[in-house]
Structure 1
C-alpha cells in the first residue's frame, strides 16, 4: 500500500489528537474538583471506534474507562493490550502562549495539554485501528484497547480500579504497550526509536518532624521541628546515590554506546549523553536512584516556632535497590522524624522478545535505516498496576521527533505540543505494528 493511501489515517491521527485536547480532562487529584472530561473523552473515542463496541467502567460519575476487545482469528493465542490514559495534569492558561485546551495547530505542531501525555497516542492508535478496518485486516490474536482515567494521580479511578475490580477485561492478556517510549533520538550515527523496557520503583515519602512549640526567641533549634526537618532535607538533597548497573541498565548503556559510537562512563553520563540533545536527561537518571524534596509546610507566624513541620520527597528507586534505598534513606532522615510511604514497584520486560522484534520491524518499515533502543523511565505509569496481573509491559508510543525538539520539557510543561509530522509517522508505525499481531 502506498503512503498516499495512508493519508486519511495520518490526517485522522492529527485531528483526533487535537479534538481530544479540546476536552478539558484535567485531573486535579481531588474528586470534588475533577470534572467529567475523562468520560467525555471516552464517549468521543467510542464514537470513533463504533465498529468495535466497547464497555465503559466508572468507579465514579465522570471518570469513565473504555475497554474495547477486537477479536482475533486465533482467540486461543495470548492477547495484546494497548492502553492510554485520557486525563491530563492542570494547566494555567495565564502562563501559556496558547489556550491549553484549544487544540490549536500552528508552527507545525498540535498545541495543548495532553499533546504528548498522552492524547497523541490515542489519536494515532484510533486512526491506525480505523485504517486497518478499512483494509479489512483482522488480527491473529485478540487486541484489547483500554482508554483509562486517573493515570496522572494514582489510578484508583482508572487502571488500578480495572485491575482490582474488573480483571476479567484483561482475560488472556500477556503483554501490553503504553507509555513511556517510542520517541525517536537522533545522533550523527543515525536515528533510534526508544522502547520502554523498565520503570524505576516509586517511593513518595512524607516526613513529619515534631518539636517544641513556642516563641521564636526562646525555643532552641535542637527542639525546633522546622530546623530538624530542613537539616534532614538538606542531607537528602545533597546525597549522591550510586550508579546501579543491573541487567536492564547494562543493556540500555550498551545500546547507547552503540548509538553514540563510543564507550560511556556510567559515573559521568550527563556529559557523555549530551549528543542526545534535550532527551539526554531522560536517559541519565535511569542508572541511579533519585530523591527530590518537593513540598514543605510549617508554621503560621514569623515569631512562632511551630510544633510540627511536614515535607514530601519524591524518590525513584533503581531496579533491585529497594532494600539499600530504605536503609540509606533512614540514615539521611535521622532521628526524631516519622516517615510515611506511598510506593509502587519497579517493573521490567525483556528486550530480546518477539513483541520487541515486531516493534523494530514496524519502525524499519516506516523509517528505513532507523533502529530501536531500550529505555528505562523514571516516571510511573499504569504498567505498575498491570504488573500485578503478571502482564509484561512495554513503552511504545512512536513519534519521529525533530532533532532539537524538547520532548521531556513538554511533559506536564507550559506550551505542551507535539509535531504534526510526528503524529503522522507514529500512526504509520502503529499500523505496521498492529498488522503483525
Structure 2
C-alpha cells in the first residue's frame, strides 16, 4: 500500500477517465426522474462497480429509495472527507431536446442526458476516483467516504436527510464534504473563473392562495380567485426583491472585480449600492447578459412561480386558486423575511403557506482544504482564478452540514466560453463536454490524493 504523500500518481490514470465516462453513460440511461425517483437500478450500477473493485460499501434504503455509501480507508493522519452526489433528476420533456434525455447520446463533443451536470457527473467522477485509488494501492491521508444519494431534487428526505438522521455513524468524524454547486469554470470579462461554493441559499417552498366566490363561467367575475392569484403573481415575479448584501457575495464580487476589465469591475462594484442601481446595472450595463440572472440571484431573496392549480371544469369559476413558489433566501435571511417581502408586493388578496424550508448554509473559505482546492485548480489551469462563492440553489450540503461537516461545492469541470452552462441546470439539452469531464476527473483525483 502506497501512502498518498509518497505516490507518483499525481495524474489520474487513463483507466480512471475511461471508467468515469462509462459509468456516467450508464447512469444517464437510467430514468431517475423525481418523482418518483426510481433510483434503484442506478444505485445498483454504482454498488456493482464498488463490489467489482473490492471497495467497502453498503446500500441503505429509505422507504425503498437507495443510498450507496462507500469508504476507502486512509492512514488516519487527517479526519475523513466526504464526496457526494445525487442519483435523482428533474423531469425532462423529450419533445424539447435535440437528443433523447435518457439515451446518453454522444454528439458534438458532449454527452447528452438529464443528469449530465446535475449531478450524475459528480457521482461518476467520485466513484471512478475512489475505485482508481483502490486499484492503484494508494492510501490517502484521510478516509474517503462516498455517498450517492436519492431524492435531492425533492428536498433530500430519502437521501442525505435520511443518512444524517438515521445513520450518522457512517459519517462520524467527517471534517469536510465536496459536492455539487461549484468548481466549474465561468467566463467573465475575458477571464476564466472557478467559483467554489462556500455558502448556499436557504430553501423556502411556499404556497400562495387566493379565495373567491365560485360561479358560472358564463358570467365572468373580475374578482375571482384566479384573477386575484394572477395579479398577485405578476407583481411578485416581475419585480426583483430588495437588495441584501452578504459577506460571501461581497467577497466574491471583490475578487471578481480585481481580475476583470475596468468597465466590468465598475459594474460589479455598482451592483451592491442599492436595489435601484442593481436593477439598472443588471438590465442595462451588465457586461455578460447571459449571467445577469444568476448574478441577480446572489443579491436578493428570490421566488419563482412554478406550479399553478385552479378549477376542475371549464364552465365553473373556481373558488380557490393556488401557486407553488420556489423561494430561496440569502445568508442572514429567513423564510419569514421572504414572506414579508412577498406580502408587500402581493397585496392582501392572497396568503402564504410554508410547504418546506431549510436555512442557508455557510462554511468559511479560510481553511486548509479550501486553499488546497484553489491550489489544485491553479495547477490544472494556471490561467484560472478560483474564488469563494454563494450557490443560489440548495444541495445535500443542507443536511450534511447539520453534523458539523464543512461543506464546499466543488464539482470540477472546465467549460468552453460559448456554452450557456447556467441554463442547462433543469433546462433543455443538458449535456457535459467530455474533455471538460476528463479535466474534472483529473482535478478530483489530484484533490483527493492530496487532501
TM-based fold match above 0.5: yes
1:60 aligns with 2:63: yes
Mark the runs of 5 or more structure 2 residues left unpaired by the alignment: 1-7, 272-277
Of residues 371, 379, 384, the one that matches 2:398 is: 384
1:202 aligns with 2:206: no
Following superposition, the deviation at residue 2 of structure 1 comes to 8.1
Q: How does 1:65-84 map onto structure 2 within 5 Å?
A: 65-74=67-76, 77-84=78-85
Q: Is the CA contact 1:358–1:433 (under 8 Å) kept in the aligned structure 2? A: yes
Structure 1 residues 71 and 279, CA gap change in structure 2 (3 angstroms): farther
Q: Is the CA contact 2:198–2:388 (under 8 Å) kept in the aligned structure 1? A: yes
Deviates further, 227-236 or 162-171: 227-236
Of residues 265, 274, 292, the one that matches 2:287 is: 274
Deviation track 1:314-356 (CA, whole Å, cap 9, x = no partner) reads 2212221325323222333433534211212111111222111
TM-score when normalising by structure 1:
0.91
Following superposition, the deviation at residue 301 of structure 1 comes to 4.3
Following superposition, the deviation at residue 216 of structure 1 comes to 4.5
1:240 aligns with 2:240: yes
Mark the runs of 5 or more structure 1 residues left unpaired by the alignment: none
Following superposition, the deviation at residue 193 of structure 1 comes to 1.5
Following superposition, the deviation at residue 407 of structure 1 comes to 1.1
What does residue 22 of structure 1 align with? 29
Following superposition, the deviation at residue 303 of structure 1 comes to 4.6
Following superposition, the deviation at residue 281 of structure 1 comes to 3.3
Following superposition, the deviation at residue 87 of structure 1 comes to 1.1
What does residue 302 of structure 2 align with? 290
Q: Is the CA contact 2:311–2:317 (under 8 Å) kept in the aligned structure 1? A: yes
Deviates further, 413-422 or 326-335: 326-335
- State the SS of the aligned residue for 1:173: coil
CA distance in structure 1 between the partners assigned to 2:249 and 2:137 by the alignment: 41
What does residue 329 of structure 2 align with? 317
Q: Is the CA contact 1:212–1:219 (under 8 Å) kept in the aligned structure 2? A: no
Q: Is the CA contact 1:283–1:376 (under 8 Å) kept in the aligned structure 2? A: no
CA distance in structure 2 between the partners assigned to 1:247 and 1:304 by the alignment: 51
1:140 aligns with 2:141: yes
Structure 1 residues 5 and 149, CA gap change in structure 2 (3 angstroms): closer
CA distance in structure 2 between the partners assigned to 1:349 and 1:3 by the alignment: 28
Deviation track 1:33-85 (CA, whole Å, cap 9, x = no partner) reads x43xx222222212222321201111123x2101112222126x432111000
C-alpha RMSD of the superposition: 2.3
What does residue 328 of structure 1 align with? 341
1:411 aligns with 2:414: no
CA distance in structure 1 between the partners assigned to 2:130 and 2:291 by the alignment: 29
Q: Is the CA contact 2:84–2:126 (under 8 Å) kept in the aligned structure 1? A: no
Following superposition, the deviation at residue 189 of structure 1 comes to 5.0
Q: Is the CA contact 1:273–1:284 (under 8 Å) kept in the aligned structure 2? A: no
CA distance in structure 2 between the partners assigned to 1:237 and 1:175 by the alignment: 37
Q: Is the CA contact 1:278–1:405 (under 8 Å) kept in the aligned structure 2? A: no
What does residue 339 of structure 1 align with? 352
Deviates further, 224-233 or 191-200: 224-233
Structure 1 residues 387 and 2, CA gap change in structure 2 (3 angstroms): closer
Following superposition, the deviation at residue 151 of structure 1 comes to 0.8
1:432 aligns with 2:446: yes
What does residue 225 of structure 1 align with? 225
CA distance in structure 2 between the partners assigned to 1:327 and 1:151 by the alignment: 28
Deviation track 1:68-105 (CA, whole Å, cap 9, x = no partner) reads 12222126x43211100011122233332222222122
CA distance in structure 2 between the partners assigned to 1:118 and 1:300 by the alignment: 37
Structure 1 residues 326 and 188, CA gap change in structure 2 (3 angstroms): closer
TM-score when normalising by structure 2:
0.88
CA distance in structure 1 between the partners assigned to 2:240 and 2:229 by the alignment: 19
Give the total of aligned pairs.
427
Deviates further, 413-422 or 290-299: 290-299
1:112 aligns with 2:108: no
Following superposition, the deviation at residue 136 of structure 1 comes to 2.5
What does residue 253 of structure 2 align with? 253
